[in-house]
Amino acid sequence: MSAVAGMGRAEAERAGARNVRRRRWRVVLRHAALLAWVAVIMFPIYWMIATSFKEKHEWVAWPPHWLPHDPTIKNYSQIFVFDVQRSGVAREATEQPFNVWGPLADSLLICTLSALVALLLGTFLAYSISRFNVGGRHFRHAILMIRMVPPIVIAIPLLMYYAIMIPLATEAVLGTRILLFDTRVGVSAIYIATTLPFVIWMMLTFIEEVPYTLEHAARMMGAGRMYTLRRVVLPLVASGMVVTFLFVFILNWAEFLLALTLTHPDVVTLPVLLNKFQSASEGRLFGPQAAIGTLITIPVVILGVLIQKHLIKGFSFGTIRK
Amino acid sequence: MSEAQVSQAPRTAPGARSGSFGRGLGAWLAQERVFRLIPFVAVEVIFVLVIIIPFLLTIYISFLKWRANRPFEQAYLSGFGNYQAVLTDPGFWSALGRTFYFAGAAVTLELALGFVLAMLVARTVRGKAAYITILLVPMMIVPVVVGYNFTMLYIDSGPINQLLAPFTQAMGLDPRIRWLSDPVAAQWAVILADVWQWTSLTFLIFLSGFSALPRQLVNAARVMGASAWQIFWRVELPLLRPAIVIAVVIRAMEALKIFDPVVLLTAGGPGTSSQSIAFYLWEQVWVFNKFSFGAAASIILLVIFAVLIFFGIWLLVRSSAAVGRERAA
């Protein structure tokens, strides 16, 4: 600014025009770079959706078809078969019907159940950490450690625990073998344990925004602890709980390693189902696979877009100023 | 102090009047020293049941000689045999080294790309919200689907080969290159799939860092005649340090777990050239049924990761403490 004031007027105008031009170029370049990355992001997703509408001779055609030449919903009708037995054996392996309803129900049930339980426990604990400093100063970091342990390290102990220890122990104590391996309860239990750290961290940021004086006032007026929690604190963090629930739901929905290792063959979640196609011996079924991929992706992307504003806050880990 | 006084009231009043067991229990639970521990105990019980006990069992099994073809009851103690087998297995060490290589390459690219994208978006005015929405989409996509998507791009008659066809044909090659059959290309296929997905997370962390930058400080530097270059290196970058630490720690810890794209894209192949440590262990236990070997490897890996995790958490705590000091000042 001071430099401009020192110059002659004409000179300053020329410099100003140059600056404007330079700034405009910078804006154009910035948008070009961002749009290039947008293209990189969108292309694989586009390719999957396009493949899900392609006939089987188009899946791996050379040169590849950038648009389906004759769009079809065959791939979708092939995976949404209700009764695989009754629809008979297909003449060709690529027309084999698949029942996606079972895995869809398993995924929905496991993800909803475990996210709800984790949300309730985690919110309660986050409240306790925030208000009473339970577990000491570094407890919240200790919790984060659990999240950082690689799932494969947890999967091997859990396999042995679910498949050996619990059946043997329950047989000795209760007289019947209870098996947690390949059950929805078994998968849900480990999902609850692995997502609790996230719930606690996200709920902490929401609960710490609720002023303590409000609760204090309620308690002074004679409200009980649970009443205060239910009527004063929970309504204020309700939107935060919805966001946390959706986030944890998305995490569970995407989980693959633990579902793959702790189930077989009864319980099948959607990622495990998609992986089964990948190793299918009867030729690769790219079309139905793309249809399942689209089916898994669309709902979570919509949910994710809905909560993204809150995710920015949740992932700032205290670096963002309010 | 006042909190303690408040908690007295509901404890004594109803208990004295009715004296029933239910009320007495309720009053006992409502005391602060009890109430604060209820969720803590509940969560600790879950962690003990689902994580601690399985690990104790695994430590026991890691000292057994036991394979799947024999019932568990016939297994016998074998001392440190399994640990010795793991530590002398070249496959274990090369998978571990490869995992660090994958994570290093992927996280470096993700940090650089995420930083540049966040900087560009932070300075954009028009269409900012739309850019943020789209750039965050990869994070939401199920990793298995990402793996599938990239197989479709890499297959010999896929779009990547078509885009490269003018160059490959000019060189007199068959344009239908089988990328995933080449060891180096397969490794980079896994790395690039990871970069595609998780650049959105580093972008998110850096974006919240950029939006938290104090405007006055940057403006003050500009008024005092600092160049854009100086403002970036001397003002913005030091202020973004906590965000950078968070991005590095979180992404590095996640990248070391890499499993899904390896299974979906390459299945560890060709040969073992793209096996990550998670894939290697999965194959040992679930394909080859080497249970006690897997138990020992899992314990060794836990020890290695515990060191890394402690270091990572230490970095996080230190940087968040620095932010707290700054805010207080």
Q: Judge whether A233 is closer than 8 Å to chain B, CB to CB.
A: no
Q: Where are the alpha helices (DSSP H) in chain B?
A: 2-18, 21-30, 32-35, 38-47, 53-62, 81-87, 90-123, 128-135, 137-140, 143-154, 159-170, 183-211, 215-223, 228-230, 237-239, 241-255, 260-261, 277-282, 291-328
End position of a domain, from candidates B32, B53, B81:
B81
DSSP H or E run through A20: helix A9-52
Give the model's pLDDT for residue B98: 93
Checking if the pLDDT of A257 tops 50, the result is yes
CA distance B169 to chain A (A): 13
Q: Please, which pLDDT band fits residue A320 given cuts at 50, 70 and 90?
A: very low
CA distance B257 to chain A (A): 5
Checking if the pLDDT of A254 tops 60, the result is yes
The phi-psi region of residue A240 (left if phi > 0; otherwise alpha if psi is between -120 and 50; otherwise beta) is alpha
CA distances, A125 to each of A240, B38, B96 (Å): 15, 8, 36
Q: What is the DSSP letter of B73?
A: G
Regarding whether B110 and B158 lie in a shared domain, the answer is yes
CA distance A10 to chain B (A): 22
Give the model's pLDDT for residue B307: 92
Checking if the pLDDT of B1 tops 50, the result is no
B322 Cβ partners below 8 Å, 6+ apart? B241, B242
Regarding whether B114 and B10 lie in a shared domain, the answer is no
Over its C-alpha atoms, chain A yields an Rg (Å, rounded) of 27
Over residues A107-123, the pLDDT tens digits come to 999 999 999 999 999 99
Over residues A121-134, the pLDDT tens digits come to 999 899 888 888 88
Regarding whether B116 and B59 lie in a shared domain, the answer is no
Q: Please, which pLDDT band fits residue B235 given cuts at 50, 70 and 90?
A: confident
Checking if the pLDDT of B214 tops 90, the result is no
Regarding whether B116 and B18 lie in a shared domain, the answer is no
Q: Please, which pLDDT band fits residue A191 given cuts at 50, 70 and 90?
A: very high
Mean pLDDT within B208-214: 83
Give the model's pLDDT for residue A188: 92
Regarding whether B111 and B48 lie in a shared domain, the answer is no
Task: Specify the number of domains making up chain B.
Answer: 2
Q: Which residue of B has its CA nearest to A186?
A: B50
Q: Judge whether B120 is closer than 8 Å to chain A, CB to CB.
A: yes
End position of a domain, from candidates B81, B115, B150:
B81
End position of a domain, from candidates B18, B47, B81:
B81
What residues does A80 pair with on adjacent strands? A99
Question: Rounded distance, CA B34 to CA B7, Å?
Answer: 11
Q: Which residues 164-183 of chain B have a CB within 8 Å of chain A?
A: 165, 176
List the single range of A73-77, A97-101, A250-254, B66-70 with lowest mean pLDDT.
B66-70
Which SS3 state, helix, strand or coil, does residue A142 take? Answer: helix
Q: Which residue from A41, A121, A250 is facing B42, i.e. has the nearest CB?
A: A121
User: How many Cβ atoms are within 10 Å of B101's Cβ, its own excluded?
Assistant: 13
Mean pLDDT for chain B overall: 83
Question: Rounded distance, CA B309 to CA B207, Å?
Answer: 25
CA distance B46 to chain A (A): 7
Give the model's pLDDT for residue B13: 44
Regarding whether B128 and B49 lie in a shared domain, the answer is no
User: Would the ipTM clear 0.95, i.e. be above it?
Assistant: no
Over residues B248-287, the pLDDT tens digits come to 988 998 899 999 999 988 888 788 888 999 999 999 988 8
Over residues B12-52, the pLDDT tens digits come to 444 444 457 777 777 777 777 788 888 888 888 888 888 88
Give the model's pLDDT for residue A110: 94
Q: Which residue from A62, A193, A253 is facing B46, i.e. has the nearest CB?
A: A193
Q: Which residue of A has its CA nearest to B203?
A: A312
Residue-number span of the structural domain to which B63 is assigned:
2-81
Do B46 and A192 count as a contact with CB atoms less than 8 A apart? Answer: yes
Regarding whether B262 and B213 lie in a shared domain, the answer is yes
Give the model's pLDDT for residue B299: 92
Yes or no: is domain A101-314 CATH 3.40.50.720? no
Regarding whether B133 and B12 lie in a shared domain, the answer is no
Regarding whether B196 and B219 lie in a shared domain, the answer is yes
Regarding whether B109 and B52 lie in a shared domain, the answer is no
